Every structure is written in C-alpha cells, then in structure tokens.
C-alpha cells in the first residue's frame, strides 16, 4: 500500500497503479479517452491531465497525464487546479474543432463518452471559424457502421482490434490531422470480436449497424441483465427492448467471465427473437397430414393433458439450450426415469465426462479470467475461436501477462501498454494447440500439433504419462508423436498455473479423458492445474448436472421397450442431434408429439401440439456455463400474449393434468427451491440471484431509465386508455421507470449509468476497483466443487492406434462462429457470414483425389450419400476431412467416424 495526496487529501492505495486508474477507483471524475482498463495507458489524447506537485511547498507544480504517471508513495496531485482545468477544457476544444454537429442524428447520442467528457470539462463555445475536415466512410460489413467524421483519434479502435482481438485487417492510416481508421479496402471486418468497437469507440464512429435497423435512444430502452445463449461460456449481457422488439445486446461486465468484451455471435445473434419464424400461438394438428391450426392455450393444454391421465408414461426430452428450471419442470412432469437429455447418447457421455472428470482428480476449474492468467496452456482438440470465442480472446491476453512480467523485470509498469509491447516484441504464449485443423489462436501459440481425434487423445494420454509415471502409458507412438509429447510435457512441467482446455468439439470422449489425465498428472504439493471443458450450448453443462435417463437413442429405444403415450420435447430440434431416419421413426411411432419451442423447425413441423416458448428475452431462467457457474437471466420485456415461459407452460400442463404436486410450483422462486432440494449440486442455487421478494429501499429495480419516454403513448394505436403497468411477479425487477436507481446487487444491474456518466464508462462507478470485480461481488454461483488433494483416478481407455483403409478419411466437425449455432444464424448479418456447406480436405488429400476447389465430392454416411462442394484447407491435417457443424443442409453425424471420399462425376 502507498499513500498519495489528491487535492491535499491523503489516500491509501494499492501499489503499482497509474494515477488515472487510482483516481477513478477512488471515485474521482477524471476525464479520459485513450486509456481503457483492459488496454492500459498510452498517453495519446492528453485528456486526463492533472497537476503534480513535488511536495507540500511546491505551489507551481507541472501538468502530467494521470494515465502515464505512476501513483507512488508521496505522489501529490491536484485534479482541479485552475491551470489544469483550463488545459483539459482545451483538449475538448481541440477535439471539437473538426467534430460534426451530429448529436441529434448520431446513434451514440445519449450514451456518448465524448458528450460526457465535454460536459465534465465545461467546454461550450466554438471559437473555430474554419471548415472541418471530412472523410469518406467505408462499408465494414453487416455489424459495424462507419462514420469517420466523428473521429477524435483516440486510437482505441485500432489498439483493441489489433492488440486485443488479434485482427489484422484494420489499421490507422495517413498522418497529422487526417488520420483515418479503417481498412485498406472496404469490406467486412474479418475478426469475430469486431462488434466490441461499438463500445470501445467513445464517439459515434463505430456503431451497431443492426441496432440502426430499429434504432432507439438509450434512455428509451427497457433493459435487464441477461446471459448470452449462443455458446457455453455464459457471457453476461444487457439486452434492450422497445415496443416489443428486442433492439440490441450490449456487454454486461463480469470480472470473471467475459470482462469488457463479447464476441460477434453473442452481440448480433439476438434477431431470432424478432424473427418472422417465431411461433406466436399454440398450434394443433388433428391429423398428422393436416396443417397446424392455431388454438387457444386452454384447448392445447387440455389436448396435451389428455395423454397424461392415469399415470401414462410420458417421455420428456430436455434441452441443453433451455433453462435449468424448464428442464427441471419437464423432469418433474415425466419423472426422472423418463426424462432424457436432448442430445445423442455419445454427446451426453461427453457432457457427463465434463461434469465428472473435475471431481475425479486434483484439479481446479478456473474462471475465464483466471484462464488468462495461466502461465502455460494446452488446448486439446478444440477450435476455441469458433467454439468458445470469448475464452479464446481471454487466452490471447495470456501473452499480455507474459509481456507484463518481462516489462516489470525492467521496472516498466504493466499498464504502460506501448512500452510493454516494445519489450515483449513477438513473444509467443506458452501454449500448445493440438487439433485436427489450424485455429485463429495459432499465431500466439509456441507449439501447434495436428492430428485426427483419436490420435489427439493418444497424444494427451502420452503427455500425462510423461508427467506422471502413475498415469497409463500409450503404446506404439510414432517418432513425431514422441517428440511432440516431449515438447509439450516440457512446456507444462515447470509452471505454476497450467491450464488444460478440451471439449466436445472432436466428438470424442477419449480426448476429454486424456485432457483430464494431463491435468491430474500436473498436480504437485504446490500446484493444481486448471481444467476447462468447452461444451457447445448455453446450458449443456446445466443439463449435464441433472439426472437424466440417457440420451436420445436411449429415449427412442425406451419407446420400443416400454411404450409411451406422448413425448414432450423442450426447446429442441431433434433433427440437429441424431440422424433424420431415427427421428422420423420415433416421431411417427409416438402417439402424441408435444413440442415447446421459440421458432418453427423440422421437429416443430412434426408435432401434434405446439406451445410457443418464450425466449431468454421474454422469460426468467438459470443457465450453467463451462465454469459450472449458475447465472440468472431476467426477461427484458413482458412475455408477449399467448407466448409462455417453458417452465410455466409445463407447470400449467401439470395443473391441467390434475397433478397435485404442481400446486407447489406457484412461482419461479418455488421452482428454484424445489430444484435446490432435488440434488446436492443444486442445493445452493437459490442464491444465484435474489428472488422476487427482494426489494431495495426505494422499491423494485426499474428496467427503464427515468428518462424513458412515451410510456402512456405506446399502445394508444390500440386503445387510448392508459394500460395498467405490467407487473413482474418473478423477479426484483420492474417493467417501470420507478424504483431504485442506485447500486443494486450485481446480478440485478439492468444498466450501467451514473449522473454525468451516460456511456458504457459508467461501469467504472460499479467496480470495487477499475478493471476489478463489481462492487458487491460478480454474479453467479459456482456449482462444481473440486478438491486439490483428492487422489487422481486416471482414465484408462486409451484408443488403439488406427490405420485407415484405402480411401478412408477421419471425419471431423468444423465449427464456425457464424453458422454452427442454431439460433444466431437467424440474424441476417450472421447468416450472411455463414459459409455455404462444404467438404473440407487438405491440399495433399485433395490432390490425391484429383479434386480442386469447388469440385463436388461425395461421402457415404449411415447409408446416406452426401454430395458437397470441396473446400481446400491448408491448415487441415492430412487424412482428415471436415464438415461444417450445424449448418443448414449438413447431415448430423455421430463422431468420430471414418468415411470414404469420392470425386463426383460431372455430368
């Protein structure tokens, strides 16, 4: 701790900070632009000027930039010295010389950091009488709108895009007072984190293009804390709505999970909520050859309940993308022995491995933030930038940690961004990525290794054996494999905080088990390795924590062996899970097919009864991310009429079926309590977020800002009578602008705003320390416990060495951040960036098959013959062929498997 003096008052602060960071953490309002808590200081904008004094007697002092000045013992500064106030005002004046009078038409208006800083410094009057410089804008793709005239050259965009996100197709161009930020040639920004530019940019140069399609001022948005539903990381978001249309997704800071950033899939994948493809009314088909007809909820419930009388067996198929509560209610409805995980048996096994392995040996599950602090990372089988984008972004920062260490050895502060980079040069991360194909993280890794999934597993097992003789050994390793094993184990051996990352992308349980073995093998008296498993969906892990009777094939088989009156399918398109023939057969055979979902899909189209399910934006629920963190999402706006939250619909169904136990679940909180009682792992789940009864002293927490306009005018086109405000009976939030406007518990923060801080920078006021945890603790509850002292039970099923027969290739799934996920692809911008279906081959394999780019090739899968255009991928391992996972038109395949590839004869 050191003592500094600000405005003549002493403050005790942590060592090593710069004055801007320290001042803001203490609550002082110091203006700034180029500094960013996640990117450190560069001293470019000169806005954060303060006066520094040598000692108490020094009355003159000198102007220094707070962000570039260390806060050391004895440092004395004044923030409101008249000379420095004048200087800060001048900085705004300079920035305003060329800034256009766009506020009324600028998307940023009302949440603009430049506006806030202008007001803060007190600059008002324009004395510049000359022409302003203007620029031509570029087309940057479907996500970002470009308006360069507004640029104040703070350089944040290029620093984020290049240094944090690793993007290379964007740069600062030109010189002096016509610096331009853009691309060499206009075109879609490549990098999948580009959307963060809209929050990084302190003015309206980079704005959310999709938001423009249905623009609303920030103060007119109704917002609530939410969770991204497009992958298993559970990034925290703030979603905003007006007039029943979900308008945009913004980052919600969580120190341990996503920090300041989101990926583009999470930011722009929301449009399915507004899609024309939404199911908005209950539907019924009397005969399976009929078109479905809309019916009242009462009719639909009665028809469904008819299958449930007299203890008839109901098969319940849950979903890894539905909330815990919805899954739980289905489990209650069907009974645990009839409740199935809505994924293939094989995938369920993998998810169960992700749940069980952490408890089977001495490891820790790091937070995503802690992952960034690892001093060595071994990624086995995952294409992180596509399967867990924000984790990949965090791991990029692992190199930064290394760089900071190198810099601090030279007495350079870690926040001195440019200096740290100068010291680090192109140091690579202590990272090995072993996968079937190259990844966008390869540029920071010191080692990469390519192999087919089974061989990746063998590699992993061998590394574990090299680290701990007690781990099972691998026979018949090739020389190359032995060399790789030696390199990787050497890389991991003398580290303090190693991390092993694996997941379900390879479709191979052995890969995950091998990863666990490596993590166990690294345990020592003063070291516990981190182990993280990437699972594909927002509640894969949640579903994995629940009791299920098996996966889909097991469910289908149970119909044959035990029969059923009906199947209730929760938010799940079975055709994405297992091959179509199996699903067809099952759905044909079940007497009644009842489906709850948001959007029309192939499964919905086979249903006898369809219940429109509320999305994350229209319902409350809990999801569990890959850290095992249970997180609560709150609905943004009242559930539209005739749509119901799935958990509530299932409850209504049980009530209609006269199930007496249904009376207990009269509220969401009651469901949560019941869930807590159902299984030890969920026992504390009620504290994920405060329940409905929780009130602040001024009342509930308003979803609307106190400037929210048009409250009584909305809806006058329907009726001039002022509607009663909709009550939220499920949470401490209100669909209102009245209530408590201060610092609610972090899990309930609907927006970051403080007086004078209308932009995303208001977050500063909510953190216990800038860039640190939220005041009151970051939300969510870690469910999975690990024990660093437990003795490892090594996995022993090592795949045998396989030699492929002629013309056979290992088939893998290749993941695309844009396209592999079911819901986000309904956003036009994401659909635009989704690749067309293809079959991928390495250049060598393609040549051997006499195939060039675009030729059609065929593979045989489970009796089906699939023809696809060839894509040649230089980064794909030889003997491996890949299909893009989850794309429309791509058949579902059980992996791992081998296929023959043949060139299609052209007609």
Partner 1 sequence: MKCPLTEHIRPGEAPLALEAYEKKGGYSAARKAVGKMAPEQITSMVTDSHLRGRGGAGFPTGQKWSFVPMEKEVHRRKYLVVNADEMEPATFKDRLLLEGNPHQLIEGILLSAYAVQADIAYIFLRRAYVTAAQRLAQAIAEAYDSSYLGSNILGSGFNLELHLHSSAGRYICGEETALLNALEGRRATPRSKPPFPPVVGLWGKPTVTNNVETICNIPHIVNHGADWFRRLSRTPNGGTKIYGVSGRVKRPGAWELPMGTTIREIFEERAGGMQEGYRFRGLLPGGGSTDFLIKEHLDVQMDFDTVQKAGSRMGTGTMVILDDHTCPVGLVLNLIRFFAQESCGWCTPCREGLSWMARILSAIEAGQGESADLEKLQRHTGLLGMGNTYCAHAPGAMEPLQSALKYFKEDFNRHIQEKRCPWR
Partner 2 sequence: MLTRKEIAEIETEFSRYEQKQAVGVEALKIVQRHRGWVSDETLQATAEFLDMTPDELDGVATFYNHIFRKPVGRHVILICDSVTCWIMGYEDMIQHLRKRLEIDFGETTPDGRFTLLPHVCLGCCDHAPAMMIDDDLYQDLDLEKIDRILGAYE
What does the block give as tokens for 96? 């305003």
Give the DSSP H or E segment for 264: helix 264-268
- Footprint of partner 1 on residues 384-443 (CB under 8 A)? 410-412, 416, 418-419, 422-425
Cα 703 from Cα 689, distance rounded (Å):
16
Instruction: Quote the least distance from Cβ 426 to partner 2, whole Å.
Output: 7
Among 20, 64, 388, 604, binds partner 1 (CB under 8 A): 64
Cα 650 from Cα 663, distance rounded (Å):
12
Of 411 and 561, CB closest to partner 1: 411
Among 72, 101, 105, 174, binds partner 1 (CB under 8 A): 174
Contacts of 452 (CB under 8 A, 6+ apart): 436, 810, 812, 877, 879, 880, 896
* DSSP, res 379: E
Of 127 and 850, CB closest to partner 1: 127
Q: Are 597 and 319 in contact (CB under 8 A)?
A: no
Which of partner 1, partner 2, none does 482 bind, CB closer than 5 to 8 A by kind?
Answer: none
Cα 613 from Cα 61, distance rounded (Å):
65
Exposed, middle or buried by CB within 10 Å (0-12, 13-18, 19+), for 405? middle
Which of partner 1, partner 2, none does 168 bind, CB closer than 5 to 8 A by kind?
Answer: partner 2
Cα 584 from Cα 505, distance rounded (Å):
26
List the x/- string, 406-425, binding to partner 2 by CB under 8 A. Answer: -------------------x
Of 130 and 693, CB closest to partner 1: 130
What does the block give as tokens for 862? 């489970």
Which of partner 1, partner 2, none does 630 bind, CB closer than 5 to 8 A by kind?
Answer: none
Of 12 and 129, CB closest to partner 1: 129
- Footprint of partner 2 on residues 167-186 (CB under 8 A)? 168-175, 180, 183-185
Residues in the interface with partner 1 (CB under 8 A) total 41
* Helices (H), ranges, 363-452: 368-372, 384-387, 389-408, 417-424
Instruction: Quote the least distance from Cβ 234 to partner 1, whole Å.
Output: 38
Which of partner 2, partner 1, none does 418 bind, CB closer than 5 to 8 A by kind?
Answer: partner 1
Supply the angle between the helices 324-334 and 668-678 in degrees, to the nearest 10. Answer: 70
Instruction: Quote the least distance from Cβ 534 to partner 1, whole Å.
Output: 35
Cα 630 from Cα 619, distance rounded (Å):
16
Instruction: Quote the least distance from Cβ 229 to partner 1, whole Å.
Output: 41
| CA proximity to 812, closest of 580, 510, 507, 509 | 507
* Residue 87 binds partner 1, judged by CB under 8 A: yes
Which of partner 1, partner 2, none does 554 bind, CB closer than 5 to 8 A by kind?
Answer: none
Cα 867 from Cα 402, distance rounded (Å):
47
Instruction: Quote the least distance from Cβ 60 to partner 1, whole Å.
Output: 13
Q: Are 546 and 327 in contact (CB under 8 A)?
A: yes
Cα 303 from Cα 305, distance rounded (Å):
6
CA atoms within 13 A on the CB side of 587: 25
Which of partner 1, partner 2, none does 45 bind, CB closer than 5 to 8 A by kind?
Answer: partner 1
* Residue 193 binds partner 2, judged by CB under 8 A: no
Of 170 and 272, CB closest to partner 2: 170
Among 179, 245, 306, 681, binds partner 1 (CB under 8 A): 179
CB atoms within 10 A of CB 21: 26
Instruction: Quote the least distance from Cβ 162 to partner 2, whole Å.
Output: 9
Which of partner 2, partner 1, none does 424 bind, CB closer than 5 to 8 A by kind?
Answer: partner 1
Give the DSSP H or E segment for 821: none
Instruction: Quote the least distance from Cβ 169 to partner 2, whole Å.
Output: 5
Of 128 and 867, CB closest to partner 1: 128
Which of partner 1, partner 2, none does 185 bind, CB closer than 5 to 8 A by kind?
Answer: partner 2
Of 180 and 600, CB closest to partner 2: 180
Q: Are 462 and 794 in contact (CB under 8 A)?
A: no
Which of partner 2, partner 1, none does 714 bind, CB closer than 5 to 8 A by kind?
Answer: none
Instruction: Quote the least distance from Cβ 47 to partner 2, whole Å.
Output: 24
Instruction: Quote the least distance from Cβ 481 to partner 1, whole Å.
Output: 36
Which of partner 2, partner 1, none does 385 bind, CB closer than 5 to 8 A by kind?
Answer: none
Cα 567 from Cα 795, distance rounded (Å):
36
* Residue 203 binds partner 1, judged by CB under 8 A: no
Of 184 and 490, CB closest to partner 2: 184
Sign of CA dihedral 153, 158, 159, 160: positive
Cα 315 from Cα 856, distance rounded (Å):
41
List the x/- string, 422-451, binding to partner 2 by CB under 8 A. Answer: ---xx-------------------------
Among 2, 26, 38, 172, binds partner 1 (CB under 8 A): 172
Which of partner 2, partner 1, none does 184 bind, CB closer than 5 to 8 A by kind?
Answer: partner 2
Residues in the interface with partner 2 (CB under 8 A) total 14
**In Å, how far are 286, 293, 312, 447, 637 from 608, measured between CA atoms?**
7, 10, 18, 53, 29
Cα 559 from Cα 554, distance rounded (Å):
9
Instruction: Quote the least distance from Cβ 195 to partner 2, whole Å.
Output: 19
Cα 37 from Cα 771, distance rounded (Å):
5
CB atoms within 10 A of CB 713: 10
Cα 701 from Cα 375, distance rounded (Å):
41
* DSSP, res 316: E
E strand intervals along 678-837:
701-702, 733-734, 781-782, 808-814
Cα 599 from Cα 616, distance rounded (Å):
13
Q: Could you report how far apart the first and last alpha carbons of the chain are, in Å?
A: 78
Identify which range of 137-145, 165-173, 280-288, 515-523 contacts partner 2 by CB under 8 A: 165-173
Of 181 and 261, CB closest to partner 1: 181
Identify which range of 56-64, 350-358, 435-443, 731-739 contacts partner 1 by CB under 8 A: 56-64
Binding site for partner 1 (CB under 8 A): 42-47, 49, 62-64, 68, 87, 90-91, 94-95, 97-98, 127-128, 130, 152-153, 155, 172, 174-179, 410-412, 416, 418-419, 422-425
Binding site for partner 2 (CB under 8 A): 168-175, 180, 183-185, 425-426
């Amino acid at each position: 701790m050191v003592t500094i003096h600000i405005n003549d008052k002493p403050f005790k602060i942590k060592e090593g900070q710069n004055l801007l960071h320290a001042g803001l953490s203490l609550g002082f309002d110091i203006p700034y632009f180029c500094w960013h808590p996640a990117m450190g200081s560069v001293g470019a904008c000169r806005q954060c000027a303060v006066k520094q004094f040598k000692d108490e007697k020094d009355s003159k002092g000198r102007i220094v930039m707070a962000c570039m000045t260390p806060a050391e013992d004895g440092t004395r500064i004044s923030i409101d010295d008249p000379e420095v106030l004048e200087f800060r005002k001048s900085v705004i004046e300079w920035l305003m010389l060329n800034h256009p009078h766009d506020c009324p038409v600028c998307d940023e208006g009302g949440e603009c950091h430049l506006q806030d800083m202008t007001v803060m410094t007190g600059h008002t009057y324009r004395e510049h009488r000359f022409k302003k410089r203007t620029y031509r804008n570029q087309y940057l793709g479907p996500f970002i709108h470009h308006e360069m005239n507004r640029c104040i050259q703070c350089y944040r965009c290029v620093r984020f895009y290049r240094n944090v996100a690793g993007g290379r197709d964007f740069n600062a161009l030109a010189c002096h007072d016509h610096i331009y930020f853009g691309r060499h040639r206009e075109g879609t920004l490549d990098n999948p984190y580009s959307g963060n530019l809209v929050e990084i940019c302190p003015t309206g140069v980079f704005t959310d293009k999709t938001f423009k399609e249905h623009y609303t001022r920030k103060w007119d948005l109704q917002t609530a804390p939410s969770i991204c539903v497009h992958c298993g990381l559970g990034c925290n978001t703030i979603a905003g709505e007006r007039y029943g249309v979900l308008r945009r997704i913004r980052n919600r800071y969580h120190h341990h999970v996503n920090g300041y950033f989101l990926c583009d899939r999470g930011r722009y994948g929301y449009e399915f909520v507004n899609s024309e493809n939404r199911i908005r009314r209950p539907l019924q088909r009397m005969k399976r050859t009929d078109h479905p007809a809309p019916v009242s909820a009462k009719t639909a419930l009665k028809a469904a309940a008819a299958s449930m009388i007299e203890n008839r067996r109901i098969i319940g198929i849950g979903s890894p993308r539905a909330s815990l509560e919805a899954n739980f209610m289905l489990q209650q409805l069907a009974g645990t022995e009839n409740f199935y995980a809505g994924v293939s048996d094989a995938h369920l096994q993998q998810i169960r491995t992700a749940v069980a392995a952490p408890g089977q040996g001495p490891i820790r599950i790091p937070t995503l933030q802690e992952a960034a602090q690892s001093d060595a990372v071994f990624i086995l089988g995952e294409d992180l930038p596509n399967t867990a984008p924000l984790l990949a972004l965090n791991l990029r920062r692992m190199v930064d940690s290394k760089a900071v260490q190198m810099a601090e050895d030279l007495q350079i502060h870690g926040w001195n961004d440019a200096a740290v980079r100068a010291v680090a040069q192109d140091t690579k991360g202590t990272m090995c990525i072993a996968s079937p194909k190259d990844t966008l993280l390869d540029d920071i890794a010191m080692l990469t290794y390519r192999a087919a999934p089974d061989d990746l597993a063998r590699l992993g097992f061998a590394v574990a054996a090299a680290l701990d003789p007690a781990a099972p050994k691998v026979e018949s390793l090739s020389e190359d494999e032995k060399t790789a094993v030696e390199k990787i184990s050497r890389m991991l051996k003398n580290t303090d905080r190693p991390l092993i990352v694996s997941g379900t992308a390879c479709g191979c349980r052995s890969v995950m088990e091998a990863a666990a073995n490596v993590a166990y093998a690294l345990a020592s008296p003063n070291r516990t390795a981190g182990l993280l498993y990437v699972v594909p969906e927002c509640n894969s892990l949640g579903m994995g924590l629940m009791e299920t009777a098996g996966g889909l094939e097991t469910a289908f088989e149970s119909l044959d062996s035990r029969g059923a009156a009906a199947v209730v399918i929760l938010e799940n398109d079975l055709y994405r899970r297992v091959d179509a023939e199996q699903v067809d057969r099952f759905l044909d055979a079940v007497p009644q097919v009842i489906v709850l979902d948001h959007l029309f899909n192939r499964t919905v189209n086979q249903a006898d009864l369809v219940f429109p399910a509320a999305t994350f934006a229209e319902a409350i629920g809990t999801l569990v991310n890959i850290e095992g963190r249970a997180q609560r999402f709150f609905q943004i706006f009242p559930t539209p009429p005739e749509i119901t939250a799935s958990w509530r619909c299932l409850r209504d169904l049980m009530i209609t079926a006269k199930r007496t136990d249904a009376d207990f679940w009269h509220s969401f909180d009651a469901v949560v309590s019941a869930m807590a009682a159902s299984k030890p792992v969920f026992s504390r789940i009620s504290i994920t977020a405060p329940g409905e009864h929780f009130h602040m002293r001024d009342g509930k927490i308003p979803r609307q800002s106190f400037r929210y306009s048009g409250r009584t005018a909305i809806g006058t086109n329907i009726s001039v009578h002022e509607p009663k405000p909709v009550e939220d009976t499920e949470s401490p939030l209100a669909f209102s602008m009245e209530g408590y406007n201060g610092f609610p518990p972090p899990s309930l923060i609907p927006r970051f705003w403080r007086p004078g801080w209308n932009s995303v920078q208001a977050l500063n006021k909510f953190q216990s320390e800038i860039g640190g945890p939220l005041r009151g603790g970051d939300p969510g509850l870690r469910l999975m416990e690990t024990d660093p002292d437990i003795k490892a039970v090594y996995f022993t099923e090592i795949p045998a060495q396989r030699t492929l027969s002629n013309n056979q290739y290992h088939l893998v799934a290749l993941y695309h951040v844009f396209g592999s996920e079911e819901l986000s692809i309904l956003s036009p911008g994401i659909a635009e960036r989704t690749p067309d279906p293809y079959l991928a081959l390495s250049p060598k394999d393609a040549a051997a098959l006499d195939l060039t780019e675009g030729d059609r090739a065929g593979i045989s899968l489970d009796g089906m013959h699939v023809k696809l255009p060839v894509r040649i991928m230089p980064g794909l391992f030889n003997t491996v062929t890949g299909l893009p996972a989850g794309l429309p038109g791509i058949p579902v395949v059980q992996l791992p498997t081998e296929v023959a590839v043949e060139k299609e004869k052209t007609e």
